Every structure is written in C-alpha cells, then in structure tokens.
A and B are shown apart, each in its own frame.
Chain A
Amino acid sequence: MVIDAPPARSVFRHRLSTRLWHWVNVVALVTLLMSGLMIFNAHPRLYWGQYGANADSAWLEIGSTGTEGYLKIGDRRWDTSGVLGYWKDGQGNVGRGAFPGWATIPSTYNLAMARRWHLTFAWVFAFGLLFFMIRSLWNGHIRKDLAIGRTDIRPAAIGRDIMDHLKLRFHHGDARFNILQKFSYVGVIFILLPLMILTGLTMSPGLNAAWPWLLDLFGGRQSARSIHFIVAGLLVGFIIVHLALVLLSGPVNGIRSMITGWFRLPAEKAQ
C-alpha cells in the first residue's frame, strides 16, 4: 500500500433508499431463490402452455436414474451427477432431489416449508421493489441515474464501454453509472423483477380466476412457471456478474459505499 499518498476524497454515491433496498434484496432474493429451488424439486419438469404433468412432454427436466443425475433440455441430455439429480450431502448421504441440499431452503425435502418461506419473502421482495420504485421516481434516481439517454445508445460509446469492461478498466472518478451498468440495472429493475412478480402471480389459481389476463399474457400457467424459472436463472447470472465486478473493482470500497453511501475516490483522482 502507498502510505504517503494524499488523503482520499469521498463522493456520496448511494442514497439511503437504494442502500436499504439493496440489503433487503440480498436477504429476500437469496431466500426466494433457494426456497424456489426446493419448490421446483417437488416437480422438476417444465412445460409450455396451459397444462403439463408427468405424461406430457417437458422442455426441461432434472432427474435421477438411481445412480446418476441428469439434466434434459429438449433432446439434449447431460450427466449432472454430483450436482443435479444425484448428489451427496455433508454426511455423505445420497440425495436425488433435482437441486442439492446446499442450494435449497429447507435443505431437506419439504415443499410445505419451502412454500412458507417463498410466499412470505415474496411480500418482502414485492413491497421492497414498490418502495424503491416510488422513492426513485420521487427523488429523481430513475430520471437522473438510470434513464437510458440518446448518448447511451451510440454504438461507439457502447463499444468503448464493453472494451473498458473487458480490460477491467473501471471509471471511479464520477458517481455515474456506465452504459453497461445502466442497461443491466434497467433490465433487472424494470423487466426481470416485475416479470418474476407477474409470472409468480400467474401460478396462483385464485388470481387466475380474478385476473385471467395474466394467463393470456404468458400463454398459460405452465408457461408462466417456465418463465419464472428462466428469469430466476437470469437473475442468478446478473448476481454472479455483479459480485464478480464488485470483487474486481475493489470490494471493500464498493461494499462500504453500499453501506454508508460514501465511495472513496482513488488518491490520484482526488487531486
């Protein structure tokens, strides 16, 4: 570490509403994901259309033959022993659930409890998103920081931003989001997260009766279930990239700024 550098300057980067929402989401999304995987384990097959059960053809299936686990998508089949369909828990016991115990809540098969976790934290997640959206409209976060402007969609600018990311060159100087950040945050906040809520609601038989347009919007309850699963996968992808970039761009500074709001600028930039 350079000791005799001039003291670093800090910029205020994250509002309280953003920080609160971020950490509420850490808890809610992890819980929803892991309890969701347990719910999936109860019927590890996905279909398109209004109906779908064991006798119907699934476009995705995770299963076990007894000595190996497999994942089937369409006509393709992969041996996933050790991870999906056939795995061992911490004590060395064989599990044949689709997703292994370390990835699910609860860790052993329990659909009823998984639903309790899922349907409780769905409220936390949905109200969190609502609160964040209203607050961010109100305080201008959406308009000032997230809105994608004309300058953002110039191919040259996008290309430069992609190159910067590939070279792991992070612009810490200003508090603004770069173009790829904007695209991914807008995509997650305004497309993926609302899609999770809507496809989740479409699986409720009670709401199907009251709001049948949900079924038409997604092409049926089983299609909604498939989309719910796919979008959950996309969110996991987002979180992995997000965490990787936090690690690569200075995890302590990044995490601190999401707690206190203040981001410490590199010393040379502070001059």
Chain B
Amino acid sequence: MNKMKVAIAVFKEHVSLRFDCAEEVLFVEFENGEIVSRKMASMEGLNPLQKLRSISTSGATRLVCGAMPGFYRRMTDFLGIRIMHAEGMAIDILIEHLKRGKSNLIVPCSQRGRGKHRRDGCPWMVTGG
C-alpha cells in the first residue's frame, strides 16, 4: 500500500512562484498511483507560518512550491515536511508526474544545486514541465 499526501502551493493553475505568496493550497492524496482525494483550501489572509501549520495538520508529508525564505524552510524541516520545488509548473502536469511516482522529476530542497540535479547552479529547479 503506497500512500502519500501532497500539498501544492497554487497560483492560477500553476505551482506558486513563492510559497509565502500562494493564496491556495491543493491537497492531493495518492494511493498506489491513484488519486484518492483532491481538495483545494484557501490560504487567503494567512501568514506563511499559519499556512505551514495548516499543511502540517492536514497530514501532508510533501509540499510542492516555489521559492521559500530560509526561515520557513527551517520550519518545514521541523514539521517533517519534505519540500519539492516545481515553481511555475502546471498543476495537471505535476499531478500526472506524482501519479506515476515520478516525484524525482521535481527536485527536493535538499538536493538543490547538487550532483546530477545541478543545472547551471540554480537552486530553484523547474524540471519535467
């Protein structure tokens, strides 16, 4: 049984360029490559700390987003949420990748700018799109 709940910081059908500017978060739950649930939650008026808290309490273990200031990256680590950067990627394409278990197309925060994921030394990776 392969289960995963992903939170995606959304801006107009795309992954938000910045986590703190996202006004909506899409929660998608996958089980064996199928979408079990999909729910959009408004984050309007919430500060980034509150957004992170609501993502954490939803049970999501991964967060797909754009750039994130260091303060919130440390907080996300503390909450046990893995960050994946896919800024600007279309949500539908992203979900297809995640469904197929191709989350490796999205570069996790910890691997940014290292090894095979290095792309011109840019820490903000957009891949797969």
A and B associate: no
